Amino acid sequence: MQWETVIGLELHAQLATRTKIFSGAPTAYGAEANRQAAAIDLGMPGMLPVLNERAVRFAVRLGLALDADVAGRSVFARKNYFYPDLPKGYQISQYELPVVGTGHLDIDPEDGPRKRVGVTRAHLEEDAGKSLHEGFARMTGIDLNRAGTPLLEIVSEPELRTAKEAVAYMKKMHSLVRYLGICDGNMQEGSFRCDANVSVRPVGQTEFGTRAELKNLNSFRFVERAINYEIERQIELIEDGGQVIQETRLFDPDRGETRSMRGKEEAHDYRYFPDPDLLPLEITTAFIDEVRAELPELPDAKSARFQQDYGLSGYDAGVLTGSRELADYFEAVVATAGDAKLSANWVMGELSGALNKASLDITQSPVDAATLAGLLERIRDETISGKIAKEVFEAIWDGEGDADTVISARGLRQVTDNSAIEAMVDEAIAANPEQLEQYRAGKTKLMGFFVGQVMKASGGKANPQQVNEILKRRLDG
């Protein structure tokens, strides 16, 4: 039997506000436990929530970026359940009337063409606290610093069909919230995380299969691994005569498998009802227009501009606009170096490779845009060859100074003197009579051998184009 996978994602983006969604307690990461919780976050009786206007502004910003319906009137509800780290016994969220309604996001998955994925809704809610187990023998500690932290839960339509599509969607949304400045996207600190609802059904069947929810996935790699495992588990279970149970499962990255956590609750289990302490949220057209005017250039628009203005391929433009910081870096390099293709190759090649190797992102690069542009200028004016430039880049990365300083200190200036190159060419030919004879007998691939000999003799500093031209004249003559 042929199977089709159905995947829907719920992404939790922690909004980049300085204070919590219903209190004035700070949201900074890493504080000592229970030092950032106000009375309302602790569930103290008589405390009334006050909505953070900035959280609303950020939600509207995302809604506009997704071309979604921004509700003029939305309602906060109480989602009732018991967790030790939820002191009120309920979570303030939105239910029937969310602030952001249906929208869409276009993705470019690795295993298929561009696809438009529907966004069902995005609603505001508060985070719960955190249970601590390490250092508490046979007990559990509670840290309420996260309680009340503003979240935007972004729910997709069940339109994703492969793990790679799910990863492409998650990456695109991760990039978007960072472009918009509404979430720092730090997955290690839990600022951006994912719940994936996965089910399978026979190809051609319209009814959905029973889904399992994969909870709290905090890396793109884990999302792909967890979904692929779950697909295989469900298919194998059904083909063996079993049934998939609706439940919440956790992914164990060490074992590469999912395991049952608890039965999956339905909405009625939470006994939602409107929060009596919060008035309905009403958003005016003027407010939406004000937020719209704040929107930056978005990734798809920037990618299109990079292709048009800089003549880059769709792939290059897509990579360079993957994050706002990388796009800004690239544009700063081009502004000085003046060669978009050369700049793109170096930003995506040597620089990105070095950053990946050092586990750094572009904001942590020890080579700033102006310094990289300076190196590319020396390639363009033929002070150094592209090959030598890689040595210079490594020295810059290691802190030896800018390009001119390294070139001067290491004596790397390119040899462009024709007579000097001719002398090296003549020596290479004279030292290899057998290869000369083979070349002139028709084995022209030996051209590369002679180029290598000359470049070796010059310490890599001879101008490659001149070497090729002079060698060809000599060998063919």
Residue 39 backbone phi and psi in degrees, to 5: -60, -40
Identify the helix (H) or strand (E) that includes residue 285.
helix 285-294
pLDDT per residue of the chain (477 residues) written in tens, 0 to 9: 899 999 999 999 999 999 999 999 999 998 999 999 999 999 899 899 999 999 999 999 999 999 999 999 999 999 999 888 999 999 999 999 999 999 999 999 988 899 999 999 999 999 999 989 888 888 999 999 999 999 999 999 999 999 999 999 999 999 999 999 999 999 999 999 999 999 999 999 999 999 999 999 999 999 999 999 999 999 999 999 999 999 999 999 999 999 998 776 777 788 999 999 999 999 999 999 999 999 999 999 999 999 999 999 999 999 999 999 999 999 999 999 999 999 999 999 999 999 999 999 999 999 999 999 999 999 998 899 888 899 999 999 999 999 999 999 988 888 888 888 889 998 999 999 898 889 888 888 889 999 999 888 888 888 888 888 898 888 887
Second-level CATH architecture of 418-476: Orthogonal Bundle (1.10)
The model's pTM is 0.85
Question: What is the C-alpha separation between 452 and 428, in angstroms, rounded?
Answer: 9
SS3 257: strand
Give the CA radius of gyration of the chain.
29
Nearest alpha carbon to residue 282 among 89, 447, 39, 72: 72
Domain ranges of the chain: 3-287, 297-410, 418-476
Question: What is the C-alpha separation between 198 and 217, in angstroms, rounded?
Answer: 13
Q: Beta partners for 213?
A: 197, 248
Is the separation of the CB atoms in 388 and 350 below 8 Å?
no
Is the separation of the CB atoms in 84 and 131 below 8 Å?
yes
